[in-house]
Amino acid sequence: MLTFLVKRLFGLLPTLFIVAVLVFLFVHLLPGDPARLAAGPDADEATVALVRADLGLDRPMPQQFAHFFVKIAHGDFGTSTRSKRPVSQEIGERFMPTLLLTLASMVWAVVLGMGIGIVSAVWRNRWPDRLGMTLAVSGISFPAFALGMLLMEIFSVKLGWLPIVGDGSWQSYILPSLTLGAAVAAVMARFTRASFVEVMNEDFVRTARAKGVPERLVIVKHCLRNAMIPVVTMMGLQFGFLLGGSIVVEVVFNWPGLGRLLVDAVSMRDYPVIQAEVLLFSLEFIIINLVVDVLYAVINPTIRFK
């Protein structure tokens, strides 16, 4: 296991390098002049030229990339052209709200999604199965921004039970987490159902039932562990998508997280913030995949890594 972890950690370096190259090229292909945006609409050409030189945008592209790569190798992501603050400080202040929102969304999405999936598998082709899969398809089909506005209209505007925007209280997490986790719960329900149906048709399950093992123990002891491996894979991937895909929800609810920061950075062509956030999201995906691989061995001790 230790050898496997070391290999995977060293494998991070070339992956992050490729991502850094692609991100650098992508942000420099965005339309608009960041120097003009930073200087202001009323600035003359001389002022814009000074701002461009201060940002290092007057250098050749290879030199800009070399400077960018050397700085991130030392943990320096530069200074935001919009706020004039260190990028690490900007991201540090926004990271926890996004992480807490993602964790809240993932907890209820996993509980609800796995619950619906297991019930649908146990009572497949009957009314609980049809109801559960109908809810799952609805959750996947309904856009996140529309669901968010609908929930705000009902629970914030009409009923006045919950705040519209994030104010730091636990109540403010309810509507954004429901909105963000709806699609994940739907995917989890369908995936859990398919995995459980496959496991329930295995020979060892029929043998357990033939021995007189109660159905509840068959589901919990024999089916759950064996069906969890593909489900854990899906959970890890969905968690990564939640971390990187909370942009729409954060904009709808005016949430002070990384998604809202990224939208503001793109609108202002804030290159350092865009580059740092995309690299952070890529690193999160890689680490989550590594954690999922380790969980395989925890769930099923027969799995060994080399």
Out of 68-72, 163-167, 237-241, 273-277, the most confident range is 273-277
> 180 and 102 in contact (C-beta within 8 Å)?
yes
Tokens 């039932």 -> residue: 209
Read off the pLDDT of each residue in 188-206 and give the average, rounded to a whole number.
80
C-alpha 245/C-alpha 225 separation (Å) is: 29
In which band, very low, low, confident or very high, does the pLDDT at 166 lie, cut at 50, 70 and 90?
low
Q: Over 60: is that where the pLDDT of 250 sits?
A: yes
List helix spans (H) across the chain: 2-10, 12-29, 34-39, 45-55, 61-73, 87-122, 127-141, 144-151, 174-200, 203-210, 215-217, 224-244, 247-252, 258-267, 271-299
- In this structure, are 53 and 166 located in the same domain? no
Instruction: Give 16's contacts (C-beta < 8 A, 6+ positions apart).
Output: 279, 282, 283, 286
Residue 154 has pLDDT above 60, yes or no: yes
Does residue 106 or residue 160 have the better pLDDT? Answer: 106
Question: Comparing 36 with 184, which gets the higher pLDDT?
Answer: 184
Give the number of domains in the chain. Answer: 2
Identify which of 286, 251, 285, 283 has the alpha carbon closest to the alpha carbon of residue 266: 251
Residue 161 has pLDDT above 60, yes or no: yes
Averaged pLDDT of the chain: 78
Please say if the pLDDT value at position 238 is more than 80. Answer: no
What Å distances lie between residue 179 and 36, 145, 214, 224, CA to CA?
37, 8, 38, 28
Task: Tell me: do 7 and 111 sit in the same domain.
Answer: no
By the 8 A CB rule, do 196 and 123 touch? no
Res 4: pLDDT: 65
pLDDT tens-digit map of 88-104: 888 888 888 888 888 88
pLDDT at 8: 67
Same domain, 138 and 186: yes
Count of beta carbons in the 10 Å neighbourhood of residue 221: 13
Same domain, 6 and 105: no
Please indicate, yes or no, whether residues 104 and 243 belong to a single structural domain of this protein.
yes
Q: Do 174 and 34 lie in a common domain? A: no
Q: Which among 41, 73, 105 is the end of a domain?
A: 73
* Segment 145-161 mean pLDDT: 82
**Residue 306 pLDDT > 70, yes or no?**
no
Which comes out higher in pLDDT, residue 41 or 202? 202
- Which CATH number covers residue 205? 1.10.3720.10
User: How confident is the model at residue 301, as a pLDDT?
Assistant: 58
Per-residue pLDDT at 81 exceeds 80: no
pLDDT value at residue 296: 65
pLDDT at 121 over 80: yes
pLDDT digits (tens, 9 = 90+) for 167-191: 667 788 888 888 888 888 888 888 8
Does residue 168 share a domain with residue 24? no
Do 56 and 168 lie in a common domain? no
- Residue of 182, 185, 200 whose CA lies nearest to 117: 185
Provide the residue type at 34 as one letter: P
Query: For residue 297, what pLDDT band results from cuts at 50, 70 and 90?
Result: low
Which range in 48-52, 99-103, 202-206, 284-288 is most confidently predicted, on average pLDDT? 99-103
User: Distance between CA 265 and CA 268 in Å, rounded?
Assistant: 5
Structural domain ending residue among the three candidates 12, 41, 73? 73
Q: Are residues 245 and 205 in the same domain?
A: yes
Instruction: For residue 269, tell me if it sits in a domain.
Output: yes
Q: Provide the pLDDT confidence category of residue 283 given band limits of 50, 70 and 90.
A: confident
Which residues form the domain of 19?
2-73
Is residue 69 located within the same domain as residue 98?
Answer: no
Verify that 163 and 234 share a domain, yes or no: yes
